[in-house]
A and B are shown apart, each in its own frame.
Chain A
Amino acid sequence: MKPLDPRLLGYARAARVFLAAGAVIGLAQTACIVGFAWFLSQVIVRAIHGQSLDELAPMIAALAGVVIARALLLWIAEVTSTRGAARVKSQLRSRVLTAVTELGPGWMAARNATSVATVTGPGLDALDTYFSRYLPQLILTAIATPVVVLVIFLQDWPSALGVVLTLPIIPVFMILIGWATQTVQKKQWRLLNSLSTSFLDVVGGLATLTLFGRAARQAERIRSVTEQYRVQTMKVLRVSFLSGFVLELVSSLAVAVVAVSVGLRLIDGSLGLSVGLFVLLLAPEAFLPLRQVGTQFHAAADGVAAADDVFEILDAASAGASATRSNAGADIAIVRMSDGPSAGALRLSGFAAGYDDRPVIGPIDAEFPAGSFTAITGPSGVGKSTLVAALLGFVAHTGAVTLDGHAIEAGATGLDWISWCGQRPGLFAGSVFENVALASRAPDRAMAARALAIAAADEIDLDRMLGVAGAGLSGGQAQRVSIARAVYRALERHSAVLVLDEPSSALDELSEARLVDGLRTLTESATITLIVVTHREALARAADSILSLEPAAMAA
């Protein structure tokens, strides 16, 4: 694990400010550590040598000053790190979200959307402890430890030697013990993993266990599995706790060694008490930051892992950007060409598409006459949704697409010629009206109501408020609202083509029949080429023609 990924500084400018501020604060904190030890030892030594409280007043005031400064610095450090974390997170989030939208749905299709959302949302929160605990401690260690050792060296070199000789033991042992822990863990990783999830497994499957009359006898199993989990985990902990043990042992032994050696040299008079006490107070401070970095190790590992996930997306986006920049000029020409509604036949010739050079569909030739209603059918996996995704430009395709004889580069998104409704409803929090009129240039309630009627969803109130992901609607209702959204866009932008992917998969037969009626009225009242991907016989039967994709076409 890298303690600090240089990409963090590259992608989040706020991180640089944070590091600079951290260095300044760390330096000031180090000064306080040395000052506190110095003034405290001076006051004690001078008092022992007979100075009165009045004579020592300036010295004690200075000590109080250092104490106040130390407290202030702790406060400032905390505030800076919280701010730093918040700023860096904001910057990274906004960059990564922009990157995700640039990479587009084609990239997302190969990934688990929820986990991408977790990475960009709550995942980045792991950076909180990374910034507020680990990094400041790391900076402080990098500054305080050498400075403190140097000060000890200037005062009493034998003590410094003792510290310098013991310090390296810590990282060496930490690494060795880290390896040993990993080995122990790896050996029983599978076992530990299944033991740790088995309680969840039993509780999660409680309904199933009850159905099969097995619930009651699981208590004993939970007990024995947890007991096994304890035995196995303790095996790992016995090794991994050694690292803490070494840290504490080395640092406290170093203090003991310094104390005894200073004590012995005081007895023979080769060292003054003021130096001895000063060095004794400083010696633990050389180890303290290092120990604290050790305890923040997990926070660091989580933070680095979270940042890694983000950098992966950002790197992918910058690689993709340089690859597509070459054909940016072509896009502009196409946007101009397909401006405004165009009503004509949609023709595909030699059309093939796939993901990552793996062909999924085609090459096929097909024609969809203007104003026709075509159902695309075929077994799962034959590439129906890929065909749609390629028309929308989510995945690359080869071959030609023409609309009314004009070539269309499917894939130039932002085009009005095609409107689409996918398999998932994909609704948002907000009113039904806001959902139906998504990205509308001039939201129109009458048109939204008409779209709902066409989608057989006229019983749903336009002003009804939906929760996140359209929560509050049943599956069938959500599907019809999303169809209405596509219909609205097709009406508003005079799209030549409307594509609906499995629009009736969540509908019962009655609703499906009403949807068919609605779509019929749409094709009758507007010149719109309707393409429906479906498995439902009733819907396919309602179409003018059926384009049946066979697995054979895939093999070609």
Chain B
Amino acid sequence: MTFQPVMPPYNSSDPSASFVGSSCLDFLLIEMVPMAYRVANELETQALDAATYAVSPSNAATLAGGPVTSPPPGIGGATGGGSMKSGAGTYGGASSTAGATGATGTRKMDEEEERDAVFYRLEMLGYRVGQGLAERFSRDRPRFNDTLDIIKFLCKDLWIAVFRKQVDNLRTNHRGVYVLTDNTFRPLQRMSTEAGGQAVTRAQPFLWFPCGVVRGALAAMGIHATVHAESTELPSAIFQIKTIPGSTQQ
């Protein structure tokens, strides 16, 4: 655990400030990704099992293939819960284990679908976190008067609160696109593989939760945007924020 000196805005004069060990946060962020994979696969299996109980194989195929709008009872409550309610809607196909057992729904959840399901899950988790963070840390800030103020708040205050450093570079085309570059992004900082280990690809899922945090924070401050993150070289991360025109309320 690291005990760094406490810096603004969460200083000791803030009566409701509370602190968490940075190692705790790191472990949580690390563990979140495999957890999202497990949840996505498990939900898939259950959705498939439920589908095999359906009356006809054709029904089962459509149920497993298409977006399931109302998950079978027990799935949403047992694993989804809370903010994940809306996330339970999109199941891709079947997981590999379910594909072997379920005779009727032989569709295997391919990588693309699994990726989408996990992305959605992590992104929605981050979205909820971002909303709360924005509400909490924008409290003692001066007022934001335009979108750039909000983005700056994101790059400075929020980034420090979550990743303990500021964004290194911020660029904009002045038409609603903002590119945030962090040269040493904390969640990616300690990653290493042997040469040719496709480290960048494998690091990608770790950017989805921060994506959601950014999107949630922006949404809480009245900016609706799509956020996309990528990494070209390992400890660095690039976040691209595209604000959706007409939806901003600032």
- State whether these chains interact: no
What is the interface of chain A, defined by CB distance below 8 A to chain B? none
